[in-house]
Amino acid sequence: MIKCLLLINIILISACIQSPTPKLVPMPPQEPDSIGWLMAADRIAQADGVIVGEIHTLEEDWQYDDPCGMVKIALHQCDGTVTYRLHVVNPERDKWLWTFVLAYGTFGLYVGESAVFVYRQMVIDRLQECRERAGMYSASCSYDLLDVLTSDLDVLPVADSARVNSLFNRKKH
């Protein structure tokens, strides 16, 4: 009987604890300062691609989240990440991009935002699946090759598109 009451209390408490999510604070892309442009130029030169467009869809993609346990969530000490997938569209093409945000961080991208998006292809583990499997047996994680935004310097104002394209195309010569 006591075990049943304890189990019921744990279930009720778990239902009340909210999973950590970043605070959504829509912010338009910012023009880097002179030092920011030095870093951005390096990032652009190393990028796998650039697209100028508008975010058409923005959604969480839990399969790449780095989840926290219930105790860390209850104590507000989650140091995991939340994954967002965004669909960028322009008249010539479209592109799905991913980005990762600290669980208690802020997230500034929003549907309708127009920008220059600078992305890199990265191998990303399906961390949610890994955590679930780890409880049952030892196995390697599944992964995907994704086009990823990893910094605020990967989202630049549309007005900077010529400069970004020049820096990106320079690496090819």
- pLDDT less than 70: residues of the chain: 1-22, 67-77, 133-140, 171-173
**DSSP states along 25-51:** ---PPPPP-HHHHHHHHHHHHH-SEEE
At residue 98, φ and ψ (nearest 5 deg) are: -120, 150
* pLDDT recorded at residue 62: 87
Give the model's pLDDT for residue 16. 47
CA–CA distance, 105 with 81 (Å, rounded to integer): 9
Q: What pLDDT does residue 6 have?
A: 52
Q: Which residues pair with 125 in a beta bridge?
A: 143
Tell me, what's the pLDDT at 81? 83
Q: Are strands 114-125 and 49-60 parallel, antiparallel or unpaired?
A: antiparallel
What residue ranges define each of the domains in the chain, with the CATH number in brackets? 20-170 (2.40.50)
